[in-house]
Every structure is written in C-alpha cells, then in structure tokens.
Amino acid sequence: MSTDDTSQTMSAYFTALGTGSFQQFFTEDVTWTTIQSGAVVHGAEAVEGAINGLHARMPDLSTRQLMSAQGVAYIEGTCAGAGDGDLIPFCVAYDLAADRIDAMRAYGDIASFMPPSP
C-alpha cells in the first residue's frame, strides 16, 4: 500500500468518523488495543462501538496532523483531564492491510475514557 493510498484511506476514515458510522474502513478482524491498560477490542462492530464510546467520553478532544507512510499512520492529540485543567496527550497508531485498517494501538493516559466492556 503506497503512502498516497494510506493517506487517502485515512482521510476518508476520519471524514466518516465524524458520522459515527465508519466500520466499513476496518478489516473484519480489526483490533483496538489500549496500551495503558492492555485492553483489546476485536472485530469491526465492537471496535466502532468502542471508538464512539471513547470519543463521547473525551472532552475537548483535539488532534494534530495525521502522519502516514506505507500501510501505517499515526495521529496525536489531547483531551481535557478530569476537571483539573490538565490536558491528556495521546497517540493512535494505525496498521492498514490493503485499503482497510487492520489494527489500532492507543498510547497515553486514555484508558479511563474507554467505555466498559460489554
């Protein structure tokens, strides 16, 4: 997968992310791993639900420029902390297979924002 293909896929994914319906950008067996807690979510529907739940719990979410290379992408951002005024930094790494996201890893202190497992 070229860098341009990766960038195009990620751009379309982030556009769809704002709609709450984006699992079409995932492989069937996609994983989301929250590195801080070690929690792993498997499958397109479950990962979509986890990301929607995460975003609903992240006040003042702000991201920076997406960086893409061949089959990988990275984005960093911040969100407001638990009422103390501090910003919590995070980074998400994406692995792509063909034109779909195959794995995501979230780094930073965002485990507390993850929705409870069903």
**Would you identify the CATH topology of the domain 3-109?**
Nuclear Transport Factor 2; Chain: A, (3.10.450)
Q: Mean of the pLDDT values across residues 68-72?
A: 94
**Per this entry, what is the length of the chain?**
118
pTM: 0.89
pLDDT for position 83: 65
Cα separations (Å) of 36 from 10, 28, 55, 65, 73? 24, 24, 17, 23, 20
Pairing of strands 26-34, 100-108: parallel
Per-residue pLDDT of 103-115, as tens digits, reads 999 998 876 776 6
What residue spans define the domains of the chain?
3-109
Per-residue pLDDT of 22-45, as tens digits, reads 999 999 999 999 998 888 999 999
